[in-house]
Structure 1
Amino acid sequence: MSVKAVLHSEWMKIRTLRSLLIALLGGPVATTAISALVSATEDGKRSDFDPVFSSFFGLAFGQIAAVSFGVLAVGHEYTGGGIRVWLAAVPRRGLYYGCKLTVVGLCALAVGLVTGFASLLVSQALLGDKGVGLNAPGALRAAVGCGIYLALLTVLASGVAAVLRSSVGTLAVVVPIVTFLSPVFGATSATRFLPDQAGQQVLHTAPEGPLGAWTGLGVLALYAAAAVFCGRLAVERRDA
């Protein structure tokens, strides 16, 4: 099969599988709604109040949806042995794996950008005189960075799912890493390099800690690249 045909088939899977659509589209709804709720009740009196970063409070929930989408996109192939059918249709495993992650990543990026701009604009409107516009320092960067952050998380989750071959097992590994470790261990020099903490530096007006906005996303990209590489080895070398 050609690259175009494989890309089209992967896009059709996402369009027709309800679980994937729910995970993909649930992220923007959850992130924007929760961020708006928090902004509507924010008084802005805290000394460390950051109007830009506060717009993404709901991302804690949206990133779970992004991870779930990445996991399900790969993990469902191994449910009931469906992977054997697809590898029979696309014997070149590298082509199959690359096209799948390309489509998954682009879908996550598109939805992530919508999430970033929707959360920022809605939240700033609800903040009233405490809000800022897209021309404020760090605002546009944060909206775009939110989309990239969610796309990288999705690809990372897909790579891990290719290694573990289990949706439940992958969720049990990835979700705690990106949601629980940072709150449990607090803001230390070590936790700054966790995937979520590193990637979310782009959402701050003034990034905190040793990583900058884009270097933090770079660290997350390295995690995603490592997961994708390990997933590629698993797909190439292990039996379907």
Structure 2
Amino acid sequence: MAAFPAVAQSEWTKIRSVRSTVWTLAAAFLVTLVIGVLLSLVTKNNFADVTEGSSTPFDATGTAFSGIMLGELAIVVFGVLAIGNEYSSGMIRVSLAAVPQRGTLLAAKAAVIGGLALAVSLVTAFVTFFAGQAMLGEHHTTLGSPGVLRAVFSAALYLTLLCLFSAGVTVLLRNQTLALGILVPFFFLLSPILSVVPKAKNVAHYFPDWAGSRSLQVYQPADQPYGPWVGLLICALWTAAALLFGYLVLQKRDA
């Protein structure tokens, strides 16, 4: 029986050796940071126009995280590639032969992928926050302000959950091309469109990306159906479900 630490070490070696997974994590950091800095600077220079007619106080934290949607794309791709590369190359057969305990194998994969995503996401969230506040000048906020530290940590948790959700979907589908073909349109086309359609938005508000991204807000709109912690919990439940169904498929089907 393979020991979990040994399996996790093996998974770490696999991910570290694949350049595409490393580059997607770097892209998640750079895209989130650069867009957040640029839009924070634009907001500072056009503050009166940006805040005109707003029903909630100006959210300096949310402004700094304006680029997180594109950062999501990179982190989703990382989650898919970290799992899907083994299926596309056929190496999953070797992995399953070396570690017949499929639950242990999936747990090790999830631990390594989640740990890497969380580490990168924490760095991304805090660097982006401080850089964004520097660009906002007199309109900036601080970590000590109510709700700000929670929002910054939530940004890191949110990206990590999306990464693990994508990994779980890839195990479920056993095909990285199919996983990307479903996840990218879902997160970046279907979910944003449905969230503003009157008859569909009540359903879309419980999608993992929309729900999780509510936790990044410092000020909650009056018409929002739930608070930041509930939103993060909804995202976590989607992630747990994806990993669970992925595990059931991995148990019952050969590579």
Q: Please, what TM-score do these two structures have when normalized by structure 1? A: 0.96
Deviation at 1:119, TM superposition (A): 1.2
- 1: CA distance, partners of 2:252 / 2:161: 24
In the alignment, structure 1 residue 6 sits paired with structure 2 residue 7: yes
Equivalent position of 2:238 in the other structure: 223
SS in 1 for 2:47: coil
Residue from 185, 189, 208 that aligns with 1:180: 189
Structure 1 stretch 174-183 or stretch 110-119: which is displaced more?
Answer: 174-183
Which residues of structure 1 form unaligned runs of 5+? none
Deviation at 1:120, TM superposition (A): 0.9
Residue from 198, 214, 228 that aligns with 2:229: 214
Residue from 180, 195, 198 that aligns with 2:208: 195
- 2: CA distance, partners of 1:189 / 1:28: 31
Structure 1 stretch 7-16 or stretch 149-158: which is displaced more?
Answer: 7-16
Equivalent position of 2:47 in the other structure: 44
In the alignment, structure 1 residue 138 sits paired with structure 2 residue 147: yes
Deviation at 1:137, TM superposition (A): 1.9
1:49-101 deviation per Cα after TM superposition (whole angstroms, max 9, x unaligned): 32111111100110011100110011111113110111111111111111001
1:24-70 deviation per Cα after TM superposition (whole angstroms, max 9, x unaligned): 22101110011101111112321433211111110011001110011
Structure 1 stretch 184-193 or stretch 228-237: which is displaced more?
Answer: 184-193
Deviation at 1:182, TM superposition (A): 3.5
- 2: CA distance, partners of 1:64 / 1:102: 21
Deviation at 1:189, TM superposition (A): 2.5
In the alignment, structure 1 residue 63 sits paired with structure 2 residue 72: yes
Equivalent position of 2:16 in the other structure: 15
C-alpha contact (below 8 Å) 2:195/2:202 kept by paired residues: no
1:133-172 deviation per Cα after TM superposition (whole angstroms, max 9, x unaligned): 1112221111100110011000000010001111111011
Equivalent position of 1:108 in the other structure: 117
C-alpha contact (below 8 Å) 1:35/1:58 kept by paired residues: yes
Residue from 74, 91, 97 that aligns with 1:88: 97
Structure 1 stretch 173-182 or stretch 14-23: which is displaced more?
Answer: 173-182
1:156-215 deviation per Cα after TM superposition (whole angstroms, max 9, x unaligned): 000100011111110111122222224312443222212111001111112331111111
C-alpha contact (below 8 Å) 1:23/1:66 kept by paired residues: yes
Q: Which amino acid aligns with 2:154?
A: G
In the alignment, structure 1 residue 127 sits paired with structure 2 residue 136: yes
Between the two proteins, the alignment pairs up a number of residues equal to 240
Q: Which amino acid aligns with 1:206?
A: Y
C-alpha contact (below 8 Å) 1:116/1:142 kept by paired residues: no
C-alpha contact (below 8 Å) 1:105/1:151 kept by paired residues: yes
- 1: CA distance, partners of 2:29 / 2:133: 16
C-alpha contact (below 8 Å) 2:28/2:72 kept by paired residues: yes
Equivalent position of 1:33 in the other structure: 34
- 2: CA distance, partners of 1:5 / 1:201: 38
Q: In the superposition, relative to structure 1, how do residues 186 and 97 fare at CA in structure 2: closer, same or farther (>3 Å)?
A: closer
Structure 1 stretch 33-42 or stretch 180-189: which is displaced more?
Answer: 180-189
**Cα RMSD over matched residues?**
1.2
